[in-house]
Amino acid sequence: MATVISHSLFTDFDIDLFKSGKHFRLYEKLGAHIISVDGVDGVYFAVWAPTAKSVSVVGDFNFWTFGEHQLEVRWDSSGIWEGFIPDVTKGSTYKYNIQSNNGGIITEKADPFAFYCEKPPHTASVVWGLDYQWKDSKWMKTRQDFNGLNKPFSVYEVHLGSWKRHIEGNKFLTYLEYAEDLVNYIKETGFTHVEFMPIMEYPYDPSWGYQLVGYFAPTSRFGNPQEFMFLVDKLHGANIGVILDWVPSHFPDDAHGLGFFDGSNLFEHPDRRKGYHPDWKSLVFNYGRNEVRSFLISNALFWLDYYHADALRVDAVASMLYLDYSRNEGEWEPNIYGGRENLDTISFLKEFNEAVYSNFEGVQTIAEESTSFPLVSRPTSIGGLGFGMKWMMGWMHDTLEYFQKETVYRKYHQNDLTFSMTYMFSENFMLPLSHDEVVYGKKSIVDRMPGDEWQKFANLRLLYGYMFMHPGTKLLFMGCEFGQTKEWNFEESLDWHLLKYPAHNGIKKLITDLNYLYKNQPALYEKQFSAEGFEWINYSDHQNAVIAFIRKGINVKEDVIVVCNFTQVVRENYRIGIPRKGKLIEIFNTDAIFYGGSGVSNSKKMIVEAVPYDGRDYSIEMILAPLSVSVFRIK
């Protein structure tokens, strides 16, 4: 048997933290670490496999021979197997060969803590280091100025495998190529943040990355870990925040993955009613097991620590919160109080958020949560889950449902638009138009719009204008910013050729200017999560399908007035109430010719009149362009 030297990176305190579910930097201990022991270079391996009978490391350095390099189990009942193997070097491929006590089952598993993985469809882990010379110190010191809840937060959601591909061979771009093309594009269009759909290693492309195996490894499809760090570095250098999709909700049962890891239900809940997800045919973490909690929270902190992520968007939170999620009667068991809430999950999410916010300054966590579960984005100190923001799925559903209707019928559905304001400030909401809305037969966003081609694009401009003026932060999936006409296909590039057509190029110009408007009008972000930042002027003119409201910031002189016309009828001499005297100046109009509109606008300064209207002492008449959003300032 080849030499395995007894060695440990764990202290007794580490083990106590691990067992109690409080060790949140396990990535410094478990996994494969390139070190020197007594002047000899090699790799220290450590893996958690408490029901294993034996664990050996197999790899290209021992011709994948079982038993050649056997690890030792620790004496402290932690279930950790460890050992130092001399002369193993960076780039070596390996797996853990695990013989279980449960019936002698032998499996080969990838390292749950591997920093790098072979390029799929290969499944081995790769010995790798995380050394990198970061150049984003200025960003890291000041990112609260870009990442705070009272700052503009406009997110460009990206699937790296299909944003753009090489024409020849339909090949992926690399992280280094994205560091040029993607960074420049986001900077040009003015988004404040990019959100990457999961970049952690995943085996199956059609999962879009939401079925993870390598939780600590950026996918090797596009390059190595340092090259992904370089991409993040370049984004920070352009003052663009980085949000990573994080998936603690479930994982696939691939043979080399976390499922049945050591011959037992190690990571997944042993009760299939809690440990199996019927929608995705995947396994669900055991959130009540201390060591699993340490694994997951360590993983969250890892991406904030080593990859300088600015936010984590947590996927499928609703599926985690409810014991009966996608389950029929008899397929789930109530909690100890007879309810449907998963108490272990609630406790875990609170601890996760507390760990994130207490360990890193200027970061955010964002929940994709589609139910009315209370206090998702409220502090744990008052009983909340502790997230910084929550996706506003109700707004997304109601708004798209409204916009799909022919304009002649919209007067009967005004409530679909105005209802969001009844609960808008119950959470810190982000308004998403995400990848889920442009797949599986839902059509692209522009293709959902009614009318002829001009009306479709006018409706799209209206939708985006309304979205950016509505309280809350914003998220837009790639391709939507130039009106991609077909559904998203993860196997090919976006249709960039469409930008040569005026209608599509006009949408891109519109989004660019909306981002600029959002960032440069404090009233649109300073109080975006507070009822003090919004005031209706008129929401009851359903007959004309018009709404008008005020967005308010700290300085009343910087307030903006927003008027939306949801039909193609030009409305002349349309009167609205105004809060004070002055001159009204139109600062933005989605119907501008520059964007592909008809050019109807209020081009001159309009004098506010002392004519009572809409319950106010002052009012003004204006012209409303067809299918448009007009934005005004009072001077």
Buried b (16+ CB within 10 A) or exposed e, 157-169: bbbbbbbbbeeee
Phi and psi angles of residue 417, each rounded to the nearest 5 degrees, phi first: -85, -45
**Cβ neighbours around 223 below 10 Å, total:** 21
* Angstrom distance (rounded) from CA 30 to CA 136: 28
- Residue 557 token pair: 């002189």
Burial-class residue 254 by CB neighbours within 10 Å (0-12, 13-18, 19+).
Answer: middle
**Three-state secondary structure along 554-593?**
CCHHHCEEEEEECCCCCEEEEEEEECCCCEEEEEEECCCH
Q: Terminal CA-to-CA distance of the chain, rounded, Å? A: 83
3-class secondary-structure state, position 610: coil
Catalytic pick among 227, 368, 427, 559: 368
Residues in the chain: 635
**Cβ neighbours around 260 below 10 Å, total:** 19
351: annotated active-site residue: no
* Angstrom distance (rounded) from CA 314 to CA 243: 10
Which residues lie below 8 Å from residue 578, measured CB to CB, with a gap of 6+?
561, 584, 608, 616, 618, 619, 620, 634
Instruction: Please give the C-alpha separations between residue 306 and each of 130, 246, 299, in angstroms, as whole numbers.
Output: 7, 15, 11
* Angstrom distance (rounded) from CA 274 to CA 504: 46
3-class secondary-structure state, position 107: strand
Sort residue 22 into left (φ over 0), alpha (ψ -120 to 50) or beta. alpha
* Angstrom distance (rounded) from CA 518 to CA 538: 22
Which residues lie below 8 Å from residue 425, measured CB to CB, with a gap of 6+?
471, 529, 530, 531, 534
Beta-bridge partners for 334: none
Burial-class residue 134 by CB neighbours within 10 Å (0-12, 13-18, 19+).
Answer: middle
Q: 270: cis peptide before it, omega within 30°? A: no
Which residues lie below 8 Å from residue 185, measured CB to CB, with a gap of 6+?
none
* Angstrom distance (rounded) from CA 128 to CA 117: 9
Instruction: Please give the C-alpha separations between residue 511 and each of 155, 329, 488, 507, 552, in angstroms, as whole numbers.
Output: 12, 46, 19, 6, 22
145: annotated active-site residue: no
**Cβ neighbours around 403 below 10 Å, total:** 21
Smallest CA-to-CA distance from 284 within 249, 321, 319, 315 is with 249
Question: Which amino acid would we find at residue 468?
Answer: F
* Angstrom distance (rounded) from CA 566 to CA 412: 12
- Residue 315 token pair: 């996927």
Maximum distance among all Cα pairs of the chain, rounded to whole angstroms: 94
* Angstrom distance (rounded) from CA 431 to CA 475: 6
Angle at alpha carbon of residue 163, lines to 438 and 152, rounded to 5°: 80
Q: Which residues are catalytic?
A: 315, 368
